[in-house]
């Protein structure tokens, strides 16, 4: 085989190799872009900034809509725990929605509006617990605990919103405290 034929063959093999490698690089870049977009959407929906938690959620195929609805359920459950929804509790929930960047045309917003008009079914707490158990089984323990505490802290803030009289007395009712305890156990 002549030197020029050999060089020609080598060039063809190199080009084929680089075409395959470039294709892999492009695919990896696309996948990374999709992952980053998903993390941004989750961060916007949840207020979570921790990349490790966001990565865990993306790897678990959790969408921003899933997380938004998940994080709103405890707030609503606590607000309705004493069988009434106080205007201050309603405002605390709307504040949480604004902080999360949930828009009026989002599914989570529409779901919440239904829950604010009429108390959610008692089964919502079981659904929330099941969902959290599922997340717990696929997320790193540290990341899961941070997510859980973030959600429960917001629920506690809703419970405090209507409590007390002129800043005095108990800020969280007994019914709300019981609901918070139920939400912590699963």
pLDDT tens digits, one per residue of 39-57: 888 777 666 777 887 887 7
Q: Which of 107-111, 116-120, 166-170 has the lowest mean pLDDT?
A: 166-170
- pTM for this structure? 0.65
Beta-carbon contacts of 179 under 8 Å, excluding residues fewer than 6 positions away, are 77, 78, 81, 125, 159
* Mean pLDDT value of segment 152-172: 74
Distance (Å, whole) CA 173 – CA 160 = 8
Instruction: Examine the pLDDT at 167 and tell me if it is beyond 60.
Output: no
**CA 67, 71, 76, 77 torsion-angle sign:** positive
Instruction: Examine the pLDDT at 150 and tell me if it is beyond 60.
Output: yes
Distance (Å, whole) CA 66 – CA 45 = 9
pLDDT of residue 182: 93
Among 69-73, 96-100, 102-106, 181-185, the range of highest mean pLDDT: 181-185
* Mean pLDDT value of segment 5-11: 71
pLDDT of residue 166: 43
pLDDT of residue 178: 94
- Least Cα distance to 67 among 52, 57, 77 occurs for 57
- Least Cα distance to 164 among 59, 62, 88, 105 occurs for 88
């Amino acid at each position: 085989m002549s030197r020029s034929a050999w060089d020609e063959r080598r060039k063809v093999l190199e080009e084929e190799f680089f075409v395959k490698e470039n294709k892999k690089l492009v695919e990896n870049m696309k996948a990374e872009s999709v992952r980053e977009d998903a993390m941004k959407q989750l961060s916007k929906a949840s207020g979570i900034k921790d990349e490790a938690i966001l990565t865990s959620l993306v790897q678990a195929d959790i969408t921003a809509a899933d997380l938004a609805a998940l994080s709103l359920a405890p707030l609503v459950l606590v607000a309705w725990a004493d069988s009434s929804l106080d205007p201050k509790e309603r405002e605390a929930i709307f504040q949480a929605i604004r902080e999360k960047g949930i828009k009026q045309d989002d599914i989570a917003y529409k779901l919440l509006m239904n829950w604010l008009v009429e108390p959610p079914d008692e089964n919502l707490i079981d659904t929330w617990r099941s969902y959290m158990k599922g997340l717990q089984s696929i997320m790193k323990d540290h990341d899961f605990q941070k997510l859980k505490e973030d959600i429960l802290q917001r629920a506690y803030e809703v419970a405090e919103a209507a409590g007390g009289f002129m800043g005095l007395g108990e800020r969280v009712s007994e019914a709300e405290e019981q609901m918070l305890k139920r939400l912590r156990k699963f």
